[in-house]
Amino acid sequence: MIEKIDIDTVHEFILDKSLILFREGADSVQVLNPLAEYIWNSTRAGLAPEVIAAEIALQFGIP
C-alpha cells in the first residue's frame, strides 16, 4: 500500500538537471525522470489527474 503524504512536506531541488525529492524523516530520496517530473510539477500546479493523463497521451500519441 502506498503511503499518502502531504506534498507540502516534500522538499525538492535540482541536481545535474534532475529533480530530486526528499522528506525529512524519510530514509530515501527520489530522483525523477522527465515524465515523473512533469507529473509532479503538474500535480503541484493543481492540474487534475485526468488533465495530466490527457496531456501525456497527447504527447505520446496514445488515443
Assign 3-class secondary structure to 10-48: EEEEEECCEEEEEECCCCCEEEECHHHHHHHHHHHCCCC
Are 19 and 11 contacting, i.e. CB atoms less than 8 angstroms apart? no
pLDDT band at 43 (very low <50, low <70, confident <90, very high): very high
Rounded to the nearest 5°, which phi and psi values hold at 31? -105, 115
Q: How many domains does the chain have?
A: 1
Domain membership flag for residue 2: no
Domain membership flag for residue 1: no
pLDDT band at 36 (very low <50, low <70, confident <90, very high): very high
Residue 1 clears pLDDT 80, i.e. is over it: no
Residue 25 clears pLDDT 90, i.e. is over it: no
Segments forming the whole domain that contains residue 37: 7-60
Domain membership flag for residue 41: yes
Domain membership flag for residue 19: yes
Closest CA to 32 of 24, 59, 5, 43: 43
pTM of the shown model: 0.80
Residue 62 clears pLDDT 80, i.e. is over it: yes
